[in-house]
């Protein structure tokens, strides 16, 4: 291959990687396309865990800009200036109790029925003192999370959501399981570093 063709090919591959592809295949990875408030969401890391909620349990998937988040959470810390896309996938039974997703399927953000497969998706950023900066415009108004594989607290799949501000995010995730990720959803005070 001529040198100029190699340069063009390398540039195209770099652009595709920088824009976020549409498939994640490496454990602990995710690929996201779209923007939030006009800013691309860069995701070097993906975690998942089954955790408790006020009404039962949920499967949590966290796509984060912080590649070291799991280790930080294990020691009771979290990094400054993070971007996160947090997904919850669960079923609701006739008693209105939630149960962490345990089967592959399409989990909908449309909660119009009393029971079924449901998802919630929120995008947030935090400043240098770990205070949330963006949350309200980052809440997903519609869409779905498709779980293609479930192994305990490890979820693999894809998502496509429209945020309240009209922007869309879609992508895939192949997270690593991180029990400490539940700390993001329990209200536990974490040291900001």
Cα–Cα nearest to 35, from 183, 147, 131, 170 = 170
Q: Are 77 and 190 in contact (CB under 8 A)?
A: yes
Mean per-residue pLDDT of the chain: 83
Q: What is the pLDDT, as a whole number, of residue 37? A: 84
The pTM for the full model equals: 0.82
Token pair, residue 94, equals 């006739």
Question: Is residue 18 pLDDT above 50, yes or no?
Answer: no
Mean pLDDT of 83-111: 92
pLDDT in tens, 137-158: 678 999 999 999 999 889 999 9
Q: Give the integer Cα–Cα distance in Å for 79 and 192.
A: 6
Identify any residues that bridge with 159 across adjacent strands, giving them in sequence order. 145, 171
How does DSSP classify residue 12?
A: H
Q: What is the pLDDT, as a whole number, of residue 75? A: 93
How does DSSP classify residue 138?
A: T
């Amino acid at each position: 291959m001529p040198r100029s063709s190699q340069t063009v090919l390398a540039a195209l591959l770099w652009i595709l990687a920088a824009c976020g592809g549409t498939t994640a295949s490496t454990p602990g990875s995710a690929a996201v396309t779209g923007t939030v408030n006009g800013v691309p969401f860069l995701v070097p890391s993906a975690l998942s865990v089954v955790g408790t909620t006020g009404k039962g349990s949920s499967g949590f998937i966290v796509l984060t800009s912080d590649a070291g988040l799991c280790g930080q959470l294990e020691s009771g810390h979290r990094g400054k200036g993070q971007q996160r896309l947090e997904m919850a996938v669960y079923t609701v039974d006739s008693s209105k109790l939630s149960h962490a997703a345990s089967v592959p399927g399409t989990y909908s953000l449309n909660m119009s029925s009393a029971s079924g497969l449901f998802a919630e998706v929120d995008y947030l950023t935090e400043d240098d003192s770990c205070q949330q900066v963006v949350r309200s415009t980052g809440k997903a108004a519609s869409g779905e999370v498709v779980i293609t594989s479930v192994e305990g607290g490890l979820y693999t799949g894809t998502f496509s959501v429209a945020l309240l501000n009209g922007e869309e995010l879609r992508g895939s995730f192949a997270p690593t399981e991180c029990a400490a990720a539940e700390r993001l959803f329990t209200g536990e005070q974490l040291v900001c570093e």
